[in-house]
Amino acid sequence: DEALTVLGLESSCDETAASVLRRYADGRVEILSNIVASQDEEHRPFGGVVPEIAARAHMRKIEPILAKAVKSSGVSWDDLDGIAATAGPGLIGGVITGLMSAKGLAMALNKPLIAVNHLEGHALSPRLTEDCAFPYLLLLVSGGHSQLLSVTGLGEYERLGSTVDDAAGEAFDKTAKVMGLGFPGGPKVQSWAERGNPKAIKFPRPMKGRDHADFSFAGLKTAVARAWDASDKTDTAKADIAASFQRAMTDTMLDRVGRAITLYRNATGDTGRARLVVAGGVAANTELRAGLKTMAATRNFDFIAPPLKFCGDNAAMIALAGAERLAAGITDGYDAPARPRWPL
């Protein structure tokens, strides 16, 4: 059975990650290693990702991490069929570090280089663990991006909607920061929300009911800051604001997904069983996953969400995007540029 073995590197934000995977011609995937070194500790004192600190940490970590990923995969350098790295979008310092390392390796080993769009990595992430055939409707929600995409094939992404201001993850992070819950914010908000009343505060549902499938989260962030200012700042207040905010986020995203389902049906002309996929760091959110699952069932969609470790940034998804590109005969020159902005 024809298989491609690819090393993937990810360094576009605050995770330094490397992974080796094998992809068979029939689409089956074996993840041979998956190493993720988080920089949470380095950024925590600042309550957010500091680009300069991220760049230095990537430089320090990339080489040991990629050596570890290859060693623990059990394959030799020679067994690799290609080297894939995130080439953007993201923080330029980190992207350059990962991409340069990949170029150096590819040149030294005389192997093809695949310059991967980080968002394509997220978009293909469900295919790491599931038989998730094209086409599918994708909700991609992370710290830097919020989009609804019609995914019809490798490299074929039609945007049905996107955020007009903040990303979904950013809204979670800012909410956590306002209340001093810690960093990264998403998981903190989620755990505080478990103890709160989601109906305690009436937060807005931006864009709800609109014809398009765009998002807006900036107003929600402002409303949280106002509610926190007006509160007595007790643990009960924290939990209630977190729960009410999370519910508003979930309602808003579900409303937008509902709209996108209609647009997707109209665009594809497909009325049969279809697939709804969620990906990106915010896809780890339990309430969102539960809501999407219910919505999918009522609209005749199968619901697919990657396991938690493949929702946030990781290199397995970059290796997979690389392997799928390589299998399709798409590679990049050793002069492939780092692209801080790179829409799908």
Beta strand 156-162 with 146-153 is: antiparallel
Q: Which residue among 144, 161, 206, 322 contacts ligand KG4 (CB under 6 A)? A: 144
Where are the strands (E) in 225-290, listed by range? 274-279
Nearer to Zn ion, 173 or 313 (CB): 313
In the list Zn ion, ligand KG4, none, the entry touching 196 (Cβ below 5 to 8 angstroms by class) is none
Nearer to ligand KG4, 49 or 323 (CB): 49
Nearer to Zn ion, 161 or 280 (CB): 280
From CA 241, how far away is CA 234, in angstroms rounded? 11
Tokens 């996107």, located at residue = 162
CA atoms within 13 A on the CB side of 317: 27
Paired with 20 in beta bridges are 7, 33
Nearer to ligand KG4, 126 or 184 (CB): 184
> Per rule CB under 5 A, is residue 120 in the interface with Zn ion?
no
Query: What is the secondary structure of 56-79 as a DSSP string?
Result: HHHHHHHHHHHHHHHHHHT--GGG
> Per rule CB under 6 A, is residue 143 in the interface with ligand KG4?
yes
CB 201 within 8 A of CB 254: no
Instruction: Please report the sign of the dihedral spanned by the C-alpha atoms of residue 68, residue 73, residue 74, residue 79.
Output: negative
CB of 181 to ligand KG4, least distance (A): 11
Q: Is 142 helix (H, G, I), strand (E, B) or coil?
A: coil
Tokens 């080439």, located at residue = 87
> Per rule CB under 6 A, is residue 140 in the interface with ligand KG4?
no
Instruction: Please report the sign of the dihedral spanned by the C-alpha atoms of residue 203, residue 206, residue 209, residue 215.
Output: negative
> Per rule CB under 6 A, is residue 112 in the interface with ligand KG4?
no
> Per rule CB under 6 A, is residue 16 in the interface with ligand KG4?
no
Among candidates 15, 46, 289, which has minimal Cα distance to 177? 46
In the list ligand KG4, Zn ion, none, the entry touching 284 (Cβ below 5 to 8 angstroms by class) is ligand KG4
Nearer to Zn ion, 313 or 332 (CB): 313
Q: Which residue among 89, 187, 206, 306 contacts ligand KG4 (CB under 6 A)? A: 187
Binding-site positions read 118, 122, 140-144, 173, 186, 285, 313
CB of 111 to Zn ion, least distance (A): 25
Tokens 């959110």, located at residue = 285
Nearer to Zn ion, 11 or 142 (CB): 142
Nearer to ligand KG4, 125 or 331 (CB): 125
One character per residue 267-296, x = contact with ligand KG4 (rule: CB under 6 A):
-------------xxx-xx-----------
CB of 193 to Zn ion, least distance (A): 22
CB 242 within 8 A of CB 175: yes
From CA 146, how far away is CA 330, in angstroms rounded? 27
DSSP 8-class letter at 328: T
Binding-site positions for substrate read 140-144, 173, 186, 285
- For the segment 86-105, give every residue that binds ligand KG4 (CB under 6 A): none
Q: Within 10 Å of residue 75's Cβ, how many Cβ atoms?
A: 16
> Per rule CB under 6 A, is residue 162 in the interface with ligand KG4?
no
> Per rule CB under 5 A, is residue 313 in the interface with Zn ion?
yes
> Per rule CB under 5 A, is residue 240 in the interface with Zn ion?
no
> Per rule CB under 6 A, is residue 264 in the interface with ligand KG4?
no
Paired with 149 in beta bridges are 138, 159
Binding-site positions for Fe cation read 118, 122, 313
**Residue 335 phi, psi (nearest 5):** -100, 15
> Per rule CB under 5 A, is residue 142 in the interface with Zn ion?
yes
Q: Is 150 helix (H, G, I), strand (E, B) or coil?
A: strand
Nearer to ligand KG4, 184 or 322 (CB): 184
**Binding residues for Zn ion, per CB under 5 A?**
142, 313
Residues that bind ligand KG4 (CB under 6 A): 13, 142-144, 169, 172-173, 184-187, 190, 280-282, 284-285, 312-313
